[in-house]
Amino acid sequence: MTITRTSAVENPLEIVDISKTDKQISEKLLHAAKTQGFLLLEGHGFTQSEVDSLFQLSHDFFDLPTEEKLKYPIDESNRGYTAMGVENLEEDAVVYGKTQAQGDPKEGFNFAHLDLQTGKADHDGQIPPIFQTDENKKLVESTVVRIGL
């Protein structure tokens, strides 16, 4: 029996190079976000170590008990925590041939009111302690500044 393998997997997501920022890049980012809801960035200048640190911080936050995360609910300005199955970003989505009746299978924490020059977020004290340690605060703020298109 012969097994044929494909050497490359086609990526359906738009990849946006943000090494230079201009109106065209902004339009590409907005288009990808609106049509795909997700995109890949290149030209961001982050080291693999920095990316790993961000993923670890994300993992550490989402690994907290649900009761802890629910202390920071998403508000009318779209900042805060949203639990698994709460948001339905595409209400008329068809999943496995059926209209999606429940929320999306994801949870999230949205930062908002960001100062793109300093990376600081105005959360009126509504930010979980995990993001307030010196190391994590510096990581989040420097990330915001570096991608603050």
Number of residues that this document lists for the chain: 149
Listed in order, strand segments (DSSP E) in 36-124 are 40-42, 80-82, 94-95, 98-99, 108-110
Q: pLDDT band at 14, cuts 50/70/90?
A: confident
Listed by start position, the domains of the chain span 13-45, 48-147
Question: pLDDT by residue (tens digit) across 71-114?
Answer: 999 888 888 999 987 777 665 655 555 555 667 778 999 888 88
Query: What is the chain's mean pLDDT, rounded?
Result: 82
**35 vs 144 pLDDT, higher one:** 144
CA distance linking residue 140 with residue 111, whole number of Å:
10
Structure tokens at 135: 């190391």
Question: What pLDDT, on a 0 to 100 scale, did the predictor assign at position 124?
Answer: 66
Question: What pLDDT, on a 0 to 100 scale, did the predictor assign at position 4?
Answer: 43
Which secondary-structure segment (H or E) carries 137?
helix 134-147
Question: pLDDT by residue (tens digit) across 38-53?
Answer: 788 888 889 999 999 9
Q: Are 103 and 87 in contact (CB under 8 A)?
A: yes
